[in-house]
Structure 1
Amino acid sequence: MPHRNVVTWNCMISGFGRNLMINEARRMFDVMPAKNVVSWTAMLSGYTGCAKLEEARILFDQIPDKLKNHVCWDVMLNGYIKNGRIDEARELFDQCHNRNVGICNRMLNGYVQLGCVEEAYELFLSMPERDLASWTSMLTCFAKAGLMNEAKALFGDIPFEKDAQAWTAMIRGYMQNGMVDEGLELFQTMPHKDIVAWNCMISGFVENGRLKEALDLYRRMPKRNIISSNSILYGFVLEGDIINAQNFFENIMNQRDTASWNTLISGIQTEEALYLFSEMKRREFRPDQTTYITTVSICGSLALHGWGKALHLQTIKTSYVHDVLVSSSLISMYSKCGLINDAATLFRSIDYRDTVTWNTMIVAQAYHGSVGQALEFHSSMIQSGCKPNHVTFLALLTVCAHQGLVKEGQNYFMSMESEWHISPRPEHYACMVDLFGRSGMLYEAYELVEQMPLDAPSYAWETLLNYCKLHGNFELGEIVSQKILKTSPSNAEMNVLLSNIYAAKGLWDESENVRTAMKQQDVKKEVGCSWVELGGSTCKFVYNDRSHPKTEEIYREIENLSVIIKRISTMI
């Protein structure tokens, strides 16, 4: 370029930053002859966009005071907020003495995004000036927390003429809280419905399992956009109707974006999804954070380490490897594929580790039964200043259960509320039952599960029932199974287990009665299946399936293996 000025330099820095090519952006920034506020802001945005917050903060502190305007403060605040570092965001916010309503709204939105209701409301009340966006953010915060009475009152108290965004926030609040009819009623009274409000209603119907009404609204829309179509596509995926989802995607949607591809890929969840990812790239759609998280997770679920490593390389080329959620999904994938050393190597290469990253590594160690490593990672996590959450304790309790560490497990369970103010969920109770069950402490497990809320899911009860069968405690097993079937009469696994318990006690009539009732109620046990990756392709095997083209060879080999196994077992 023969003639360069500050504008062209800034464009280059912004372009590199938007494409996550942060090192190239920094080299341009360092050699440009003169910098203005746009230069500093562009470089700052590049760092925060790549989640390089330490480098961003160093740069922010170097900005000359005469150039450090509200945009600079907003970019740095948003960087902290986007990455869940709300305490550092608040610390920075408090240092900004010349705050305007925009900066206050940014901090308020941060609290809203992270569900910090009390902090948000305290800030809202202390703001010297509030605009309509402030009121809408606080309304959204109440709605997200399920406080619909407070949201409704605030909506009525808004001192300005409500715009479409305020109306839509209230409608979305109703939908998110399952109050679909109230949301529809408010939508019908909305004076000027824009396309965002229509889309809000469609997605609300979809998320509440009312796809038929969503489709009806979609057909009646005066104008549609890609978001409208993506919502319907998601509706099909949510119902597990992949055939109609694919038909809608290929034949009805007149335009698609990365979100469309992501939705369809997430719905398929088999190796076919990875071929769809390849087709997405062939059609020149650019993968984003969600694309990589979804596809990498599929690789982990199916143990497709070849695909997983290829995706890892792509995240390095596109710099998405620096994204906390993408890197965490890669760690999880390596762990599930049995490559725990690769998972640890990637973990050590990450500059900034949040609670999600630490949890992923703790879960990985727990998955592989490395109790010492898992507990050591937990200690390091606390020392680093990261607070544990529900997932952390779920991993720790799992490790304790697998290793029979009853005392340690009890201590972790008790510390959840006493030290970290985290209420145990049904999954944590199930882990504790697993811990007690493995040690034969069935009545201790029963007493613990009895403390759960009545409307809690039955995971813990189901775990206890399995241990009752394992330890031959049929009396307690019958009590537990009856409790489960009161709330979940169509639970196939529990019906089968209860039938087996009766059979083990010699109560053949009772066992047959359970099986008969299952047939009458059309309760069917899900057929088991497994996947095997071989020669770069994946084969799916379903119980008693004879549709494979090499069925006869497969079953013949199984018979041969069975004979060999029996011979070996007689020799041992």
Structure 2
Amino acid sequence: MFTKLKFRSVIGYNFYSSTTKAAANSVFQLNSKITSHFKKRDVKSARKVFDEMPHKNVVTWNCMISGYIKNRMIGEAREAFDSMPAKNVVSWTAMLSGYAKNGQLEEARKLFDLIEKKNVACWNSMISGYVSCGEIDEARKLFDEMPLKNDVSWTTMIEAYFQQGFVNKAESLFNEASSESVFLCNAMLAGYAETGDVDELNDLFMKMDKHDVASWTCMMKGFIRVGELDKAQSFFDSMPDKDAIAWTVMINGYSDHGLIEIARQQFDKMPHRDFVAWNSMLTGYVRNGDIKNAFDIFTRMPHRNVVSWNLMLWGYIQQDNINSARKMFDEMPKRDETSWNTMISGYQTEEALVLFVRMLSDGLLRPDQGTLTAVISVCGVIAKKCWGQSMHVFVIKIGFANDSVVTSSLISMYSRCGFLNDADLVFETLKNRDTISWNALIVAKAHHSLSERAFDLFHRMIEKSECRPDHVTFLVLLTACTYSGRVSEGLKYFKLMEKYDLTPGPEHVASVVDLISRSGLLDEAFGLINRLPSDLVVNAYETLLHACSVHENYELSDLIKDKIAGLGACGVGMCVLQSNIYSARGMWKDAESIRAKLRRDKLMKEAGCSWIDINGSVSCFSCYDKSHVRTEDIYRELEGLFVLIEAWVGHASNDETSFVEGVKPSFL
């Protein structure tokens, strides 16, 4: 009897055990299925699997929360979170991170304060949220309150300081750390590499007790950034263990500096090439405009992934070869968001909107930040406010209303369409503004010649927000000063760049030269250029040469011509300008000599063009264009408009009348 009972117990136990294991395996498999559906952006299928599951564990619920968050469905994620029978640390951290990444810091903080037992991951998620939204002071305040910090906590704050340009604060925080682990030191190395501070980079590297592959790679990146490729190569050669990342850093370094042949030699030396290596070489050729060799690499690849196809797409679009790009797009075995975004941005016409609708109708991919930005940009370029408004509604619907990049593109779109009030409204309703958002509205004001409002916005930005101006901010301010004739203010803003540790680029220098030249101070502009490094002055010389043409200062134009020849930087625009100056001086042989050279080299200055929407039909035209079927009617109407303008300014001053005469085209 005892034996039979024991035997039945064993059978019962085995049955229970096997059933439990089967159920556990089933739950595990279904959880994986949910995650897979979410990765493919197939939210409906993920929800269907979840609803049909007879047994759910905490991992199941966490999969749903994480999946919704990755698809920017924050409301659905919170609904799942609130419905959970039991929550663990992963649940709280996932929801917290979701709010933070979505820019909803108030909701994130409320949730954070509800957590009774906060672990390091919760603290780090909240700090990371503040950092990603540019709230550095709030992040530091929370960091200081942490009862226990790990390396991730320290590196998050250090990286944030470097990203915002607060190098001293990053160094101070690093010195406060209780231990200087390799992980922590690498964060400092990466920061120095990004800022190009190779002296501090080298000093810290030498002080470190241990180095890993990331440490060596940071050294290479730092020297590559400042153009010291020999030193970068020396560190690469000294590495005890080289991984694929180290090889690709050197390949990218040479490619980025235009040394594509040396990059290819480095690539050929690689013992084992992975997808990243092949794609790095492909990127190098594409960036250097060598589409032929890019295609050669593409065809030789043993295996291609979607990145490889996307690079070729980008390459053709960079060459304005939209037909080859579309052919490549249609042949792709698999497309991701980048594929669609690249193709959409390549069109810059209504075809981009058609492609976007096709992407939505396919239903396989959900539009991301890049997609929305590209489509909204097209709406602005072709001045289709109605389509732009539809996109605005769509942006809100799919959860991108607080994305600074997308909202900035909305601001630009409304500005391009001439609706500044709508641009203001988008900006004012944005919860978390960053430098990109501020720049977008400052550009909008400047674009509409509202210089005073642009300046006011800038001062509001630096005085009432934590956002720091960047190179774009100052370029817009300088341009606004140029077109409003504010020389002293422009020079003040140019000088102010030093306060924010911003080094003026060629475009800033050219803008200042334009500002000074328009006031007739050509010699002062020439003196400014001569005090600057040679890598900053090419565009500035061209700007000044144009001013010499306007002010008929031919003596100075000859000096500039010699300077440009010494730099070996006479492009198409510069040649056309010099030819025009020679023509104005009656030096016809010299003018014809330059024109003949341009014809011989088959070089032509690209004409600018504009679009106009008439009854839903968009027409493109350029200066002196006579290709339209109703050219005579158009020019006759223009002549009538100028007669009206002259009549309108009849009561104005002579200066204003002169202005009208100045803008009146020669064909009238």
**TM-score over 0.5 for the alignment?**
yes
Distance 1:363 1:191, change over 3 A: same
Q: In structure 1, the residue corresponding to 2:605 is in which secondary structure?
A: coil
Matched, 1:402 2:469: no
Q: Render the CA deviation track for 1:55-86: whole Å, top value 9, x for unaligned.
A: 43554465444x514x4455456545655667
Q: In structure 2, the residue corresponding to 1:538 is in which secondary structure?
A: strand
Superposition deviation, residue 568 in structure 1: 7.1
Question: 1:414 pairs with 476, 495, 500, which one?
Answer: 495
Cα pair 1:109 1:137 within 8 Å, conserved: no
Q: Render the CA deviation track for 1:534-571: whole Å, top value 9, x for unaligned.
A: 233321124566665xx0x3423433542564587489
Q: Which moved more, 1:43-52 or 1:353-362?
A: 43-52
Q: Render the CA deviation track for 1:211-265: whole Å, top value 9, x for unaligned.
A: 33332222222222211222222222222222221122223x2222221122222
Residue identity opposite 1:164 in structure 2: A
Q: Which moved more, 1:35-44 or 1:291-300?
A: 291-300
User: Counterpart in 2 of 1:183?
Assistant: 263
Superposition deviation, residue 469 in structure 1: 2.8
Distance 1:75 1:474, change over 3 A: same
Q: In structure 2, the residue corresponding to 1:228 is in which secondary structure?
A: helix
Superposition deviation, residue 9 in structure 1: 3.5
Q: In structure 2, the residue corresponding to 1:532 is in which secondary structure?
A: strand
Alignment of 1:7-22 (within 5 A): 7-22=59-74
Superposition deviation, residue 135 in structure 1: 4.8
User: Counterpart in 2 of 1:373?
Assistant: 453
Q: Distance in 1 between matches of 2:621 and 2:419?
A: 24
User: Counterpart in 1 of 2:97?
Assistant: 45
Q: In structure 2, the residue corresponding to 1:437 is in which secondary structure?
A: helix
Q: Distance in 2 between matches of 1:122 and 1:54?
A: 41
Q: Distance in 1 between matches of 2:586 and 2:269?
A: 65
Residue identity opposite 1:446 in structure 2: F
Q: Distance in 1 between matches of 2:261 and 2:139?
A: 38
Distance 1:386 1:505, change over 3 A: same
Q: Provide the alpha-carbon RMSD of the alignment.
A: 3.6
Residue identity opposite 1:45 in structure 2: S
Q: Distance in 2 between matches of 1:117 and 1:96?
A: 34
Q: Distance in 1 between matches of 2:523 and 2:604?
A: 31
Alignment of 1:295-374 (within 5 A): 295-374=375-454
Q: In structure 2, the residue corresponding to 1:193 is in which secondary structure?
A: coil
Superposition deviation, residue 4 in structure 1: 6.1
Distance 1:145 1:297, change over 3 A: farther
Superposition deviation, residue 382 in structure 1: 1.0
Q: Which moved more, 1:292-301 or 1:241-250?
A: 292-301
Gap runs ≥5 in structure 2: 1-50, 156-182, 651-668
Superposition deviation, residue 485 in structure 1: 5.8
User: Counterpart in 1 of 2:633?
Assistant: 556
Q: Distance in 1 between matches of 2:201 and 2:353?
A: 41
Superposition deviation, residue 29 in structure 1: 3.1
Alignment of 1:166-565 (within 5 A): 166-251=246-331, 253-284=332-363, 285-383=365-463, 384-417=465-498, 419-456=499-536, 458-484=538-564, 487=567, 491-508=571-588, 510-542=590-622, 548=628, 551=629, 553-562=630-639, 565=642
Q: Distance in 2 between matches of 1:110 and 1:299?
A: 42
Q: Distance in 2 between matches of 1:566 and 1:556?
A: 16
Q: In structure 2, the residue corresponding to 1:325 is in which secondary structure?
A: helix
Cα pair 1:315 1:321 within 8 Å, conserved: yes
**Length, aligned pairs only:** 564
Cα pair 1:299 1:305 within 8 Å, conserved: yes
Distance 1:498 1:179, change over 3 A: closer
Q: Distance in 1 between matches of 2:201 and 2:84?
A: 41
Superposition deviation, residue 182 in structure 1: 3.7
Superposition deviation, residue 288 in structure 1: 1.2
Distance 1:193 1:299, change over 3 A: same
Cα pair 2:101 2:132 within 8 Å, conserved: no
TM-score norm. by structure 2 comes to 0.74
Matched, 1:115 2:167: no
Q: Distance in 1 between matches of 2:153 and 2:247?
A: 21
Cα pair 1:409 1:435 within 8 Å, conserved: yes
User: Counterpart in 2 of 1:36?
Assistant: 88
Q: Distance in 1 between matches of 2:380 and 2:185?
A: 36
Superposition deviation, residue 515 in structure 1: 4.0
Superposition deviation, residue 531 in structure 1: 1.0
Alignment of 1:70-81 (within 5 A): 71-72=121-122, 75-76=125-126, 78-79=128-129
Cα pair 2:373 2:406 within 8 Å, conserved: yes
Residue identity opposite 2:633 in structure 1: R
Distance 1:103 1:413, change over 3 A: closer
Superposition deviation, residue 291 in structure 1: 1.4
Cα pair 2:134 2:467 within 8 Å, conserved: no
Q: Distance in 1 between matches of 2:187 and 2:270?
A: 25
Q: In structure 2, the residue corresponding to 1:386 is in which secondary structure?
A: coil
Residue identity opposite 1:176 in structure 2: D
Cα pair 2:143 2:153 within 8 Å, conserved: no
Cα pair 1:491 1:523 within 8 Å, conserved: no
Q: Distance in 1 between matches of 2:433 and 2:450?
A: 21
Cα pair 2:529 2:537 within 8 Å, conserved: no
Distance 1:164 1:354, change over 3 A: same
Residue identity opposite 2:150 in structure 1: R
Q: In structure 1, the residue corresponding to 2:613 is in which secondary structure?
A: strand
Distance 1:11 1:554, change over 3 A: same
Cα pair 1:363 1:374 within 8 Å, conserved: yes
Q: In structure 1, the residue corresponding to 2:69 is in which secondary structure?
A: helix
Cα pair 1:485 1:491 within 8 Å, conserved: no
Q: Render the CA deviation track for 1:407-456: whole Å, top value 9, x for unaligned.
A: 22222222222x22322222222222232233222222222222232233
Q: In structure 2, the residue corresponding to 1:322 is in which secondary structure?
A: coil
Residue identity opposite 1:261 in structure 2: W
Q: Distance in 1 between matches of 2:444 and 2:634?
A: 34
Q: Render the CA deviation track for 1:174-195: whole Å, top value 9, x for unaligned.
A: 4334343443333333333222
Cα pair 1:174 1:183 within 8 Å, conserved: yes
Cα pair 1:60 1:76 within 8 Å, conserved: yes
Distance 1:502 1:299, change over 3 A: same
Residue identity opposite 1:394 in structure 2: L
Gap runs ≥5 in structure 1: none
Q: Distance in 2 between matches of 1:187 and 1:503?
A: 51
Residue identity opposite 1:360 in structure 2: A
Q: Distance in 2 between matches of 1:287 and 1:224?
A: 24
Cα pair 1:139 1:170 within 8 Å, conserved: yes
Cα pair 1:73 1:103 within 8 Å, conserved: no
Q: Render the CA deviation track for 1:260-300: whole Å, top value 9, x for unaligned.
A: 12222222233322222222223333221111222222333
Identity %: 45
Cα pair 2:285 2:291 within 8 Å, conserved: yes
